[in-house]
Amino acid sequence: MIAKIIKAEIVLVLLIITLSCANSQKGEESKVIKSPQKPNIVFILVDDMGWSDVGCYGAEIETPNIDMLANQGIRFTQFYNTAKCNTTRASLLTGLYHQQTEMSRPKVMKNSVTLGEVLRPAGYRTLVSGKHHGTENLVDRGFDHYYGLRDGCCNFWNPGVKRDGEPAPARKTYRYWCDDDTTYHPFTPENRDFYTTDAFTDKALEWLDEPELEEKPFFLYLAYTAPHFPLQAWPEDIAKYEGVYDEGYNAIREARYKRMVQMGLIDPVKNPLPEWDGDDWNALDDLERRKEIRRMEIYAAMIDRLDQNIGRVLNKLKAQGKLENTLIMFASDNGACPDGSIRAKDKSTRLEDFGTVASYETVGQSWATVQNTPLRKWKAFSHEGGIRTPLIVSWPSVIQDTGGFYNQPGHIIDIMPTLVELIGATYPETVDGKPIPPMQGISLLPAFEGKDLVRTDPIYWEYSEGFAIREGNMKAVRLRRANEKEWELYDFSKDENEINDLANERPEKLESLKKKWKEWNEAVYSR
């Protein structure tokens, strides 16, 4: 895509966009689409959601609004995050690798500018509703509004102290909560119908009615906490999935895989379904099986409620006449979460309390494997199950060859350069007189018209359990706890599920990638 901004005295912006199909292999003649003004931008980030957890990526979960975005846009098949919540959010907001921002600890984005600090000077109203997972209030980092959870996770019904007439929130973990320049600790909602997914949307819809948006385009970062644990959902949403998961882990996994193949999302030759190596469903006792079923019913209900709230935003934009010229992107901050340690510490929760304010359940490793179908590993790992996210891009007035797939790799660090190029914003070289790193990613605008991305540098990962580097179709990856000789090597032109390790067959390529990863790792920590 090519965006040309023509400045007149009244600052009228003309975007001339050449668009071909969403699939880069089709190569059809381009179409010229014109947009009379800068687009509104909505980035929706969900939390700990697996790669196959929405309908348009193979799930049995009802996500009609997310599916609609896919049908009127494009779906990336190889888009990446950083494998963890706070680090992905730092890379999204800054366009840098999280190591460059020092976001892991103490969770402050240093040496950087945020999307708010870049887009607001370009004429945008900048808004954040939801989870930040840092120690800064985002109104201090270029955003006109920030409402939501400053921490990593919370009780969906009540992030604060016990309210009269109801049980105390499970696992008493008081969380920081921001409402513009006011920070609460703890935050205890007075509204008994409070539920974080709904509350984040309520606040965003309130902002979309502000008079400032009559004159300015907006950037809305809608950062949901769902479906991160604790597993908590509205009873009516849970009821929709009664019986859906009774057949167990592998039956659901195989059904998802079949749908993914049928829709053309994956090639079964390059993406074979690995042998099941999780828990034996039939070996569970009756109570534990019923608890496992309920855990996944609640998880599905959380995603269902997410979709309902995304539908509220879409309906609002449509009613305002803004939907056609709104660029909407949808992604997850990491792969499915296998954590079972929390529930293992307290097995006393009654089945009838699952999903309520008094419960604090997680899905565990076996359901996380299902959620990541057919990828290896999970959150915090640098194998594909930890780092690959759905990315849906919808822009009704621009993307007209819709419903297809884009198969080249992208990364969350690419969002900043994409938006900078799109709207003609300026990314600074210094902040407060001190140099900051340049943007680390590339613009994704060519992908919007089905063209090849021009990426000259590899993509890198380093977090917790995993290290990795991808250069073209070759990926080297290892576990942190393994020694350096245990790097694995995969050729993604033939093997996207990381099954056929080529480390012994192509040692020279592996050594080259290891050397580049080490040089990168030393550089990003050298500031």
Instruction: List CB contacts of 156: < 8 A, sequence separation 6 or more.
Output: 195, 196, 197, 225, 226, 230, 232, 233
Query: Given phi > 0 = left and psi -120 to 50 = alpha, else beta, which region is 47?
Result: beta
Is-contact 467 414, C-beta < 8 A?
Answer: no
511-517 long-range contacts, CB within 8 A, separation 24+? 513/458, 513/469, 513/471, 513/474, 513/476, 513/487, 513/489, 514/469, 514/476, 514/484, 514/487, 516/458, 516/469, 516/471, 517/458, 517/460, 517/467, 517/468, 517/469, 517/476
Cα separation, 60 vs 71, in Å, equals: 17
Q: How far is Cα 399 from Cα 71, in angstroms, rounded to an integer?
A: 11
Catalytic residue among 21, 56, 132, 133: 133
Catalytic (active site) residue 383: no
Cβ neighbors of 275 (< 8 A, separation 6 or more) are none
> Does the annotation count 85 as an active-site position?
yes
Q: Return left, alpha or beta for 355; rule: phi > 0 is left, psi -120 to 50 is alpha, else beta.
A: left
Q: How distant, in Å, are the alpha carbons of 174, 289, 418, 506 from that of 385?
A: 31, 25, 25, 24
Measured CA to CA, the distance from residue 399 to residue 408 in angstroms comes to: 18
CA 254 to chain CA mean position, Å: 24
List the catalytic residue out of 21, 56, 85, 337.
85
Structural contact between residues 363 and 231, judged by C-beta atoms closer than 8 angstroms: yes
185 vs 183: CA distance, rounded Å: 7
| Residue partners of 415: CB distance under 8 A and separation at least 6 | 43, 92, 95, 115, 329, 441, 444
38 and 322 Cβ atoms separated by less than 8 Å: no
- Contact by Cβ (8 Å): 453, 408: yes
In this structure, which amino acid lies at residue 384? E
Name the residue among 91, 106, 89, 100 with its Cα closest to residue 225. Answer: 89
Residue 198, judged by CB atoms within 10 A of its CB (0-12, 13-18, 19+), counts as middle
Q: DSSP label at 209?
A: T
Distance CA(410)–CA(329), nearest Å, equals: 13
Give me the amino acid identity at 51: W
Sequence letter at residue 357: V
Cis peptide before 167 (omega within 30 of 0): no
Active site residues: 85, 133
